[in-house]
Chain A
Amino acid sequence: MPHSVSPTGAAQTDDEMPDAPPAETSTGNSGVKLADMFDDDDDDEFPASSAPDVNMKEEPAPAPSGVDQDIMLAFYQRLFPFRYLFQWLNHGIVPTKDFGNREFALTLQNDAYLRYQSYPTADLFRKDILRMNPSRFEIGPVYSTNPRDRKTLRGGQMKPVSKELVFDIDLTDYDDIRTCCVKANICAKCWSFVTMAIKVIDTALREDFGFEHILWVYSGRRGAHAWVCDPRARNLPDDRRRAIAGYLEILRGGSQSGKKVNVKRPLHPHIVRSLELLKHDFARTTLGDQDTFESAEQAERLLALLPDKNLNESLRKKWDSSPGRASTSKWADIDSLAKTGKSSTLNPATLRDAKQDIVLEYTYPRLDAEVSKKMIHLLKSPFVIHPGTGRICVPIDPHKAEEFDPLSVPTVMNLLAEIDEYDAKHPAGTAEADVAEVEGSAMNGSDTKGSRKLQDYEKTSLKPYIEFFRSFIAGLVKEERAGKRERDESGPGIKADPMEF
């Protein structure tokens, strides 16, 4: 088993892309593109029954990103933060039911889909993942009993008892308002929609609902997931989850329903605050970067959202006479023409409301609400590799959401190359690290006090992400411990963190 892959090797596999998926040429635009099969929106509760089945027939070869089984295994062996993932889901160091009864669902290399996997400890978890070498895995709820025992139980005995409250934002939902890319593609321009969504949702969850432990994770291609980990959020029953989803959902209706935003006046404080957050983004992104209303078709859509016929007439006349007029100017035209008082029927308040609605329609987060409503919904784990892009699903710091650039997120090939590079420069460290790894998860805390052995991830650009994750877990575990202290007086003993590496 090669434990890493040379940079050249990675590049080669990258180049193989064109001939890899036969589906793309054969099915044409029927939408069964390989990239879509591996997509990162997990809105299907039982993905095994749908997409992967189709996929299995046509694509046993490596995915377009060049992530093959060896690379995947090397990643799990050397880089994947099993221990932190364990601590995150376990809410502490000593293995509990929070982790032991948690469902994992593995997508294997042959695209078989294994549900109801569970692991009592971090070590067994790691061992099994290495053995199965899944192309990705998802996290489900904590059940009332061990999910592996489900078949020995009578029907209805195994009930989901808790799971993080999750949110899913996917740029494909923005296709009708982004002009730069479509489908699975993204660029820095349209990523700003996700940034906006993170800001708005994060603020609402913290200020309105009082949640504190919200982990945002890049989904690997064109979206982001939020995991709300507060105990109060984890234990919410489905109807309360639905309530939150409803509270946050402002855009309603499908492609044919016309105006998507219909909010009551006066505006709810949550909407007022969101508008405040989004105002500038609207000017910068929708009017500037995207130049959304530049095309005649989109301009017509804009007009459809405005309330006054006479005003629309004059706007249409003006815009028809100067084709290609920039969105910023068009947006400004609305007010300037309204001010001329040409339209006698125009009500300034209605126009203001309509403009607010438009800002919301073009910037307010578009959530895949179904994901949030059900406790049993599975969502892809943080830090797994997106098979389509090879990028790691790294956490996003919501306070620095603007700085996050999805295109510079490390890919697994980069990372493995970085290890090699580092090891080449520091030959002494290599052997040691290898020993530690070969021995699996044996802890090496005591004997390395003086010169602590470097973990492989610390040699790479994954380091800041894992450290962010670690500090997130620390905050979560601290609160959890404070809550348990009354019952559990042995608390201080735990402080010497045996899992620290």
Chain B
Amino acid sequence: MIRQDAHRIDPKRRAVIDHKKRQFAVPIYKQQEYPHRLNFYETPPTAEITLEQFEQWAIDRLKILAEIEACSYRNKSPAETATYITPLLQKFLPLSSNTSSSNGANDSRLKNERQKDHYSHFILRLAFSATEDLRRRFARAETMLFRFRFQNDDSREKRAFIDSLSLDWEPVSDFERTEVAESLASSTPGLRRVDEETWYKVDWEKVPELIEKRSVYLKKGKAYVPGREQLSMIMAEFTARLERALELTSRALPRLDEDDRLTPILNHLSKNFGSAESVYSEGEGYVDGAPITASSIDQLAQQHFPLCMKSLHGNLRKNNHLKHFGRLQYTLFLKGIGLSLEECILFWRQSFKGKTDDEFNSQYKYNIRHAYGEVGGDVNRRGKGYTPYSCQKILGDSNPGIGQTHGCPYRHFSVDNLVGFLQATGVNDKETLRGVREDVGKQRYHIACNRVFESTHKNEIKKVKEDGTWSQTDLDTIVHPNTYFKRSFLLKQMARAPKDS
């Protein structure tokens, strides 16, 4: 797929020294040059930087990646993401095009920017190669960042950059294009004129999605891809190379232990990245002084629970039972709002009316204690069990099957059932319901949920805004069921006890 040479270490980077002197020599690397704004991050950096730079650059890049990830978790559209990210990028990780300077690529400002981009990428690679999960997320966020920059790139520079990648793309000559024009036209959907596009011949294995949809012309193992598919091919290439590189990095990682200056920084970095996904940190959902006991759940559920938990609670009350994943999702949520283990066991015991004590103790109790980290392996106990599920986790996990009730109603209910359920829980505002339908149609489930929250807490929100007691950040988009609960609970609290603070 890629020309073999791309993997080889560039010969210029080898220390070319008389072999007799080699053992005393320090390897000398040529300084990286950055002729292009974009970087495929093929060659690792070799120059020296200070520890402060090491840390600062990594943190700056991490901020960007975390924001990008958050945007995708909140289902922001590409345009919204762009407006949100652009100022941040300008601040933390600027990357200017050659045309922005009179000196072009030789300008030292550009060089510094590009160096920072290059180095920070590789530092984060080290930090995020340790586990499969981190690797996947890192690759995803980096790809999004790359895509964003690539799309904003100057078209001439973009072309120069692509040419420099030595991808195995063969441009289709004008002669050949006219020869197969008819086939190209009939196999490429949405094409107006064949000669408007630049065409490339690539191995068909590079564009499996196009092959599967039968929307590309294929001849003797070569796919004839129009230029506008370039972006997706570049992205695929970028992700593929990055994933492979991360895999290799992870294998090399154990040998890094020798350096006791870098390891702590790297560990710290990878921990910070974790917070982007589960916005929830321990104790965040707790509300001090709230009377949360097994007996108060019914009332709380009705008033403050997000729709997913209301659905679980309703099902539990209706059937006196919940299936495994439903129990897990709900138990963790209850744990998150501050229900103690004893109360939680009591709650489930009372809820499972059809079960005898023996059945309950043997089949269910262990799982509850496990979720709280009472039992189980060392890791589980030390980590105090599982963290309550975030919206991301609930949305992304396997869809509920027959008889299962976990998941997110906005995502997993049919629209009509969803609206019916919303009305049953007291959301009757026409405007809100219409908005929900629209959001769900666009797969913006968070927005739908937040819309419902804003609608049901309209008066309280208005009040705290007017008071100035809550700033806009306190009313940020909710991406965790426990945040939903806490905010709802606090808002009602405020309304009930006015002007106390």
Q: A residues touching B (Cβ–Cβ < 8 Å)?
A: 207-211, 232, 236, 239-240, 242-244, 246-247, 264, 266-272
Which B-chain residue is minimally distant from A205 (CB atoms)?
B221
Q: Tell me if A247 and B211 are in contact (CB < 8 A).
A: yes
B83-107 vs A, CB cutoff 8 Å, 1 = contact: the mask equals 0000000000000000000000000
Which residues between 205 and 224 of chain B lie within 8 Å of chain A, taking CB atoms?
205, 208-209, 211-215, 217-222
| Given known A-B contacts A207-B220, A209-B221, A239-B208, A246 and B185 have beta carbons under 8 A apart | no
Which residues in B have their C-beta under 8 angstroms from that of A242?
208, 212
Residues of A within 8 Å of B208, CB to CB, are 239-240, 242-243
A residues near B214, Cβ cutoff 8 Å: 246-247, 268, 270-271
* Chain B residues with CB under 8 A of A211: 221
With contacts A266-B186, A269-B186, A272-B186 known, is A210 near B211, CB below 8 A?
no
Q: How many residues of B contact A (CB 8 A)?
A: 20
In the complex formed, the residue of A with least CB distance to B221 is A210
State how many angstroms separate the Cβ of B244 from the closest Cβ of chain A: 13
Residues of chain A lying within 8 A (CB to CB) of residue B219:
207-208, 210
A236 to B211, CA, bound (A): 14
Given A209-B218, A232-B221, A236-B205: A266 touches B211 (CB 8 Å cut-off)? no
Contacts of B220 in A (CB 8 A): 207-210
A247 vs B211: C-alpha distance when bound (angstroms): 6
- Minimum CB–CB distance for B155 against chain A, Å: 30
Q: Could you list some 30 contacts between A and B, CB below 8 A?
A: A207-B219, A207-B220, A208-B219, A209-B204, A209-B218, A209-B220, A210-B220, A211-B221, A236-B205, A240-B208, A242-B212, A243-B204, A243-B208, A243-B209, A243-B211, A244-B211, A246-B211, A246-B212, A247-B211, A247-B214, A247-B218, A264-B189, A266-B185, A266-B186, A268-B187, A268-B214, A268-B215, A269-B187, A269-B217, A270-B218
Seed contacts A208-B219, A243-B212; 6 additional CB < 8 Å A-B pairs: A207-B219, A208-B221, A210-B220, A247-B214, A267-B186, A269-B187
State whether the Cβ of B320 lies closer than 8 Å to any Cβ in chain A. no
* Whole-angstrom CA separation of A246 from B222 in the bound complex: 17
Contact A269 B212 (CB under 8 A): no
The reply to whether the CB of B183 lies closer than 8 angstroms to some CB of chain A is yes
Report A-chain residues with C-beta under 8 Å of the C-beta of B217: 269
Measured CA separation A501–B189 after assembly (Å): 55
CA separation between A244 and B209, bound complex, in Å?
Answer: 10
> Which residues of A sit under 8 angstroms from B187, Cβ to Cβ?
268-270
B residues neighboring A (CB under 8 Å): 183, 185-187, 189, 204-205, 208-209, 211-215, 217-222
- Chain B nearest CB: distance from A421 CB in Å? 47
In the assembled complex, how far is the CB of residue A251 from the closest CB belonging to chain B, in whole angstroms? Answer: 13
Count: A-B pairs, CB below 8 Å: 53
Give every chain A residue within 8 A of B215 (Cβ-Cβ): 268
CB nearest neighbor in B for A236 = B205
Can you list the 10 inter-chain pairs with the closest CB atoms, starting with the nearest?
A: A210-B221, A246-B212, A243-B208, A266-B186, A210-B220, A243-B212, A243-B211, A208-B218, A269-B183, A268-B187
A264: chain B residues within 8 A (beta carbon): 189
B contact residues around A243 at 8 Å (CB): 204, 208-209, 211-212
Interchain CB contact under 8 A, A247 and B212: yes
| CA A209 to CA B223, docked complex, whole Å | 9
How long is the Cα–Cα vector from A264 to B215 in the complex, in angstroms?
A: 10
Contacts of B204 in A (CB 8 A): 209, 243
B176 CB, min distance to chain A CBs, angstroms: 15
A266 to chain B, nearest CB (A): 4
A208 to B221, CA, bound (A): 6
Q: In the complex, how many angstroms separate the beta carbon of B237 from the nearest chain A beta carbon? A: 15
Q: Which residue of B lies closest to A235 (CB)?
A: B205
- Least distance between B488 CB and chain A CB atoms (Å): 44
Chain A residues in 8 Å Cβ range of B186: 266-269, 272
**How distant is A304 from chain B, measured CB to nearest CB, in Å?**
25
- The CA-CA distance from A207 to B218 in the complex, in Å, is 8
Nearest to A245 among chain B residues (CB) is: B212
Which residues of B sit under 8 angstroms from A246, Cβ to Cβ?
Answer: 211-214
Q: What is the CA–CA distance of A242 and B205 in the complex, to the nearest angstrom? A: 11
Whole-angstrom distance between the alpha carbons of A240 and B218 in the complex? 14
Nearest to B209 among chain A residues (CB) is A243
**Nearest chain A residue, comparing its CB with the CB of B203:** A232
Tell me the complex Cα distance, A23–B186, Å: 53
Contacts of B213 in A (CB 8 A): 246
Closest to A211 in B: B221
A232 to chain B, nearest CB (A): 7
CB distance from A159 to the nearest CB of B (A): 14
Q: Chain B contacts of A210 at CB under 8 A?
A: 219-222
A268 / chain B contacts, CB cutoff of 8 Å: 186-187, 214-215
Query: Which residues from chain B contact A244 at a C-beta distance below 8 Å?
Result: 211
Query: Please, how many angstroms separate the alpha-carbon atoms of A461 and B19 in the complex?
Result: 68
Query: Smallest Cβ distance from B337 to chain A, in angstroms?
Result: 38
CB distance from A272 to the nearest CB of B (A): 7
Closest CB-CB distance, B249 to chain A, in whole Å? 20
Bound complex: CA A242 to CA B211 (Å): 10
A104 to B229, CA, bound (A): 42
Please measure, in the bound complex, the distance between the C-alpha atom of A243 and the C-alpha atom of B187, giving whole angstroms.
16
Chain A neighbourhood of B222, CB < 8 A:
210
- Nearest-neighbour CB distance to chain A for B59, whole angstroms, equals 35
Within the complex, the shortest CB–CB distance from B389 to chain A, in Å, comes to 26
What is the chain B residue whose CB lies nearest that of A233? B221
Bound form: Cα–Cα A246–B211 in Å: 8
**Distance to closest chain B CB from A376 (angstroms):** 19
Residues of A with C-beta under 8 A to B183: 269
Q: What chain B residues lie within 8 Å of A240 (beta carbons)?
A: 205, 208
CB-defined contacts of B205 to chain A, threshold 8 Å: 236, 240
Tell me the smallest distance from the CB of A116 to a CB of chain B, in Å.
Answer: 27
A271 CA to B183 CA, complexed, in Å: 11
Residue of B nearest to A264 (CB): B189
A184 to chain B, nearest CB (A): 32
Q: A239 contacts which chain B residues (CB < 8 A)?
A: 208
Complex Cα gap A492–B218 (Å):
37
Q: How far is the CA of A207 from the CA of B180 in the complex (A)?
A: 14
State the Cβ distance, A95 to closest chain B Cβ, in Å.
28
Q: CA separation between A271 and B214, bound complex, in Å? A: 10
Chain B: which residue is nearest A250 at the CB level?
A: B214
**Once bound together, how far apart are the Cα atoms of A247 and B187, in whole Å?**
12
Q: Which residues of chain A are within 8 angstroms of B218 by Cβ–Cβ distance?
A: 208-209, 247, 270
Smallest CB separation, A269 vs chain B (Å): 4
Q: How far is the CA of A270 from the CA of B269 in the complex (A)?
A: 52
Question: B211: which A residues are within 8 A, CB to CB?
Answer: 243-244, 246-247
Which of B186, B211, B214, B219 neighbours the largest number of chain A CB atoms within 10 Å of its CB? B214
Q: How far is the CA of A244 from the CA of B218 in the complex (A)?
A: 11
Give the docked Cα–Cα distance between A209 and B204 (Å): 8
**In whole angstroms, how far apart are the Cα atoms of A269 and B185 in the complex?**
10
Q: Which residues of B contact A207 (CB under 8 A)?
A: 219-220
Q: Give CA–CA (A58, B87) in the complex, Å.
A: 75
B124 CB, nearest partner CB in chain A, Å? 27
How distant is B216 from chain A, measured CB to nearest CB, in Å? 9
Contacts of A209 in B (CB 8 A): 204, 218, 220-221
Closest-CB distance, B211 to chain A (whole angstroms): 4
Residue of B nearest to A269 (CB): B183
Query: Which residue from chain A places its CB closest to the CB of B208 in the assembled complex?
Result: A243
Q: Report the minimum CB–CB distance from B225 to chain A (whole Å).
A: 14
Q: A266 to chain B: which residues have CB within 8 Å?
A: 185-186
